[in-house]
Structure 1
Amino acid sequence: MLETLALMGGGFVNALSPTNLFAMAAGTAIGIVIGCLPGLSAAMGVALLLPMTFSMEASTGLIVLGAIYCGAIFGGSISAILIHTPGTPASAATAIEGYQMTLQGRAGKALGVSCFSSFCGGLLSCISLYFFAPLLAQLAMKFGSPEYFWLSIFGLTIIAGVSSKSMIKGLMSGALGLLISTIGMDPMEGVKRFMFGQSSLYEGINVTCALIGLFSMSQAMILAEKKIRQRAKAAKFQDKIGVTGAEIKRLTPTILRSWIIGNLIGILPGAGASIACFMGYNSARQFSKHKEEFGHGSMEGVAGSEAANNAVTGGSLIPMLTLGIPGESVTAVLMGGLIIQGLQPGPELFTKYAPMTYTFFAGFVLVQFFMLGIGILGCRGFAQISRLSDAILIPSVAVLCVVGSYAIHKNFVDVVIMMIFGVLGYFFRKFDLNPAAVVLALILGPLGEKGLRRSLMLSGGNPAILFSTPICWVLMVMCIFGILSPVFMARMEKKTVENAGGDIPGETGDDPVRTSD
């Protein structure tokens, strides 16, 4: 216990260094800009800017990515409130009440409530990050080769199933990702596999190039094929941005409920902030003493949605850091950032690399304060950024994709790989397949392959070793849950959207993968 407290204290000391504080401020501001631009998403922003973290220390790089993640989730509410166009799917429910407040001349109040609720949801989610992550890491230390095999299968079933409207399409996406993950040298025997004479594929497909192509370049292609869209003019607001003490007292129960909802959804792999925002909004309406305000500009509705979607951020990091199971596409990109830094998610992050991990945790806490300050002070400026035309947005994203992928190894082959995955991601979105499943399969495929082959080598080819421990059986049950969960999640999402008021406003349809936020 004392050792953990010492690590936590040391983490805050390291996080308060000038370099890390600047990284938090810059990352949060960039994230908010990405979030308030309709058509972009948190996953896209993190993937696009991942290469800029390569030269940083591991803790600083992760803090930047975490700041972009949190900032983008909050930033989506700015355009949702001011132009009735959610910047990310995670802010779809916010647009319902937020835009009504704007029409009533209370845009500043809506932005203040959104910013404060986002801060509270994100800050409270750090509690579970500190509490649950070390416990799960201790459990992961008992894992052997059979357990890692089943763990990889569990991760694949969760993301492939839940993140797509069709379980079959999701599993197809995961299967394609597994095939792609076999490119490179055989991990057990050192034999060349599917390298097509390209020595640059010795270590397999570069995950970062795949991430940039699937999430960023593909979205630029989707935007480019449509008519160049000039954004609606953001509403001007003269009222003060902020919340009073009486309003905080009124919103506190809603924020606490949404924190619990968002945290649980975040910890559960495969759900995501887009579901959390509607569940938070729906619970706010059910328990409100002012139900007549809903649909006509309710502060509680804005608070319920924003606290829930930001509470997902801390919760979603827990399975990724401890078990190597990214629950959604943003954490899959963050996991790619860890791997690029030479770190493997799992128990070692809390033993060998504990100072780095707790520095990241402390930075994640401090990011919430930066988000609150930058959000309140800069909302008027971000409101104008949300109007940015596709004519500027599309070429900017494309250039960043090319420069970022080339910067990885200073190799043009990486740019070609990124473009191939960009085209692949474009068709995935067109046919409602799941890009996140491909990324997860690229990451988890080698882990599952090594676990299976090592287990069979240890047992002399006897598959009974895969069923030899209680943890294996627990993971098998979780795999079954992962396959069946899409049915329950689809019903839950449909019910919460219907209860929240029907159709989702804005342009969230630009990205058919709803959980990619």
Structure 2
Amino acid sequence: MNSELLFQVFGQLFTFQVLFAITMGVIGGIIVGSLPGLSATMAIALMIPVTFGMDPIAGLTMLTAIYTGAIYGGSISAILIHTPGTPSSAATSLDGYQLTLKGKGAKALGVSTISSMIGGFISAIALLFLAPPLSRISLMFSAPEYFLIAVFGLTIIGGLATKSMVKGLAGGVIGLLIGTIGMDILTGYSRFTFDFVSLQSGVPIIPAMIGLFSLSQVMIQAEKLGRKDTSKIVSKVKGKVLLTLKEFKQIWVTIIRSSGIGTFVGMLPGAGADIGSWVGYNEAKRFSKNKEEFGKGSIEGVAASEAANNAVTGGSLIPLLTLGIPGNVATAVFLGGLMIQGLVPGRELFTTHANITYSVIIGFVLANILMGIVGLLGARYLVKISEISVSILAPLIIGFSVVGSYAISNNIFDIWVMIVFGFIGYFIRKTGFHPAPIILGMILGPIGEQGFRQSLVMAKGDLLPYFFSRPISIVLILLIVITLFSPLIMKWWKNRKTNNLKQV
């Protein structure tokens, strides 16, 4: 990044609109993250329509701020009421809640906030320096590679979004089928539109996304209305939030190590913040001199999981911005935010649209710093948000969903799409499926179809030899095969290990 571009980026970033968007994104993300049952994915999906009328830099930096804020926010309820606000904070609850029971809830919040800030900051710096050189690889991509990337994206998200590989892939297939609705990209004929003009360009992604992630979650949360929940008793928070120098010296190595682990895990397509936090936690326990304290109130345990899960955020954006491969479910939804601004992942983001991309990345760095400041000042008060009744939250979320769906193209049809996909999302969640593979199928389906049909033309019908004559295509095919069979291999290895232990 040359000096001229740097000045341009800072000039665009330090405006009232962008700084306000980052601030609102961080605060909104923390609030959503601290509400058990809601998630970073849902928050991003709900806010994408808001960014439609915004400047691309302000809109996209707000989405990244929401992302990192929500991942951190989950630790607040995990520590104080033993209810992880997001799945990524499950490991944090092991030691965080034990510290709260010992009257050290404020200290646990301080450890969580500082670790999350450092983890997110390190991953943001990695994004800034690693993404541009990696984006050069995308210049070597043509139709066959885009087809294989679409297939790869479906297999990794489908495999990790649910406990069942079959259900994950089935969700991806459903998304692919929905993605065929609309005008044929080569022949111009209408497919499965049933004479609805609004479906000529396909099922609108954003309303479908809002329905699958937000409306369906409201329906599930509404089932809990009227039930007594005695588990949410907020313990009194005592002591200081800030760490002493001695305490920081005790955990700084853990924070740095977990930040590196989280960034690496985030770069692996399909691995989410929950995986990153558990890997970081396990490694911290393995290297710790006080292993016996883990699970009983160890600040190292809290630091490890929180540094790792927030480090995943920046790491997961690296494959998304460079190759168009979502690092996890949240970035799959973020891909929709890029598309709505007319931005396509790849080398162009770092050349033609470099001023936007670098502004968003540096804005992400600022968002992590601001998240630490907001967290240290208000964490002990933010926990009260988790006591908000579903009867209050549900109407608000439904209202945002309706307004957001309509605002994209001022079309009532989009609201009906959101409602239909809300019911679809509810029923698939109840049957053990996950909405992520469906959305990813809808996004990657048209990309894969176009790549496949163009590949057929390029290969003159002799497709397989053509694929195997291209080095990058061979690598992608191997990755697809490994990803498809890895769950079976892991299950076999786990069963073998269990049988060996039984024999001993």
TM-score normalised by length of structure 1: 0.92
1:401-440 matches, within 5 Å, as 401-440=401-440
Q: Is the 8 A contact 1:42 1:88 kept in 2?
A: yes
* Deviation of 1:468 (Å): 2.5
C-alpha separation in 2, matches of 1:489 and 1:70: 30
Structure 1 residue 406: Cα displacement: 1.4
Which runs of 5 or more residues in structure 1 are unaligned?
Answer: 495-517
Tell me the distance in 2 between the aligned counterparts of 1:23 and 1:492. Answer: 47
Q: Deviations over 1:463-510 (max 9, x none)?
A: 13333211110111111122123346779999xxxxxxxxxxxxxxxx
Query: In the alignment, which residue of structure 1 is the partner of 2:499?
Result: none
- Does the aligned pair in 2 maintain the 1:162–1:485 contact within 8 Å? no
Moved more, 275-284 or 118-127: 275-284
90-99 or 18-27, which deviates more = 18-27
Q: What do the CA deviations read for 1:319-374 (whole angstroms, capped 9, x no partner)? A: 11111111211101110001011111122111111110000000000001110111
Match of 2:487 in 1: 486
Matches within 5 A, 1:101-500: 101-228=99-226, 232-463=232-463, 464-487=465-488
In the TM superposition, residue 257 of structure 1 has moved relative to its aligned partner by: 1.4
Q: How far off its partner does 1:64 sit?
A: 0.4
Q: Is the 8 A contact 1:161 1:485 kept in 2?
A: no
Cα distance in 2 for residues equivalent to 1:49 and 1:276: 25
- Give the CA deviation at 1:247: 1.5
- Identify which of 2, 15, 20 aligns with 2:18: 20
1:57-96 C-alpha deviation (Å, 9 max, x unpaired): 1111110000000000000000001111000000001111
In structure 1, what is the Cα distance between the partners aligned to 2:403 and 2:490? 38
Contact 1:90 1:275 in 2 (8 A): yes
In 1, are the aligned partners of 2:109 and 2:380 still within 8 Å (CA)?
A: no
* Equivalent residue, structure 2, for 1:46: 44
- Distance change (3 Å), C-alpha of 1:105 and 1:219: same
> Is 2:12 aligned against 1:11?
no
Letter in structure 2 aligned against 1:472: S
Mapped to 2, the partners of 1:401 and 1:485 lie a distance apart of 37
Q: Is the 8 A contact 1:328 1:436 kept in 2?
A: no
Between the aligned partners of 2:34 and 2:47, the Cα distance in structure 1 is 16
1:284 deviates by 1.5
What SS does structure 1 have at the residue aligned with 2:289? coil
Amino acid at match of 2:354: A
Q: Give 2:75's aligned residue.
A: 77
Change (3 A) 1:451 1:431: same
Give the length in aligned residue pairs: 493
Among the aligned pairs, what percent are the same residue?
52
Tell me if the contact between 2:106 and 2:380 (Cα under 8 Å) persists in the aligned partners.
no
Distance in 2, Cα, partners of 1:493 & 1:415:
46
2: CA distance, partners of 1:488 / 1:307:
30
Question: Aligned partners of 1:425, 1:486: CA distance in 2, in Å?
Answer: 25
Answer whether contact 1:11 1:361 (CA < 8 A) is retained: no
151-160 or 4-13, larger mean C-alpha shift: 4-13
Query: 3-state SS of the aligned residue for 1:386?
Result: helix
Deviation at 1:100, TM superposition (A): 0.7
What is the aligned partner in structure 1 of residue 498 from structure 2?
none
Could you say what the CA RMSD is over the residues aligned between the two structures, in angstroms? Answer: 1.9
Compare relative contact order (CA 8 Å, sep 6+) and give the higher one, 1 or 2. 1
Partner of 1:504: none
1:226, distance to aligned residue in structure 2 (A): 2.8
Contact kept in structure 1, 2:95 and 2:295, CA below 8 Å: yes
Q: 2-side partners of 1:47 and 1:492: how far apart?
A: 37
Matched residue SS, 1:141: helix
Q: 1:8, CA displacement in angstroms?
A: 4.7
Counterpart selection for 1:34 from 32, 35, 48? 32
Looking at structure 2, the residues matched to 162 and 492 of structure 1 have their Cα atoms a distance apart, in angstroms, of 18
**Is contact 1:275-1:493 (8 Å) kept?**
no
Query: Equivalents in 2 of 1:100, 1:478: separation in Å?
Result: 41
Q: Does the 8 A contact of 1:258 with 1:304 survive in 2?
A: yes
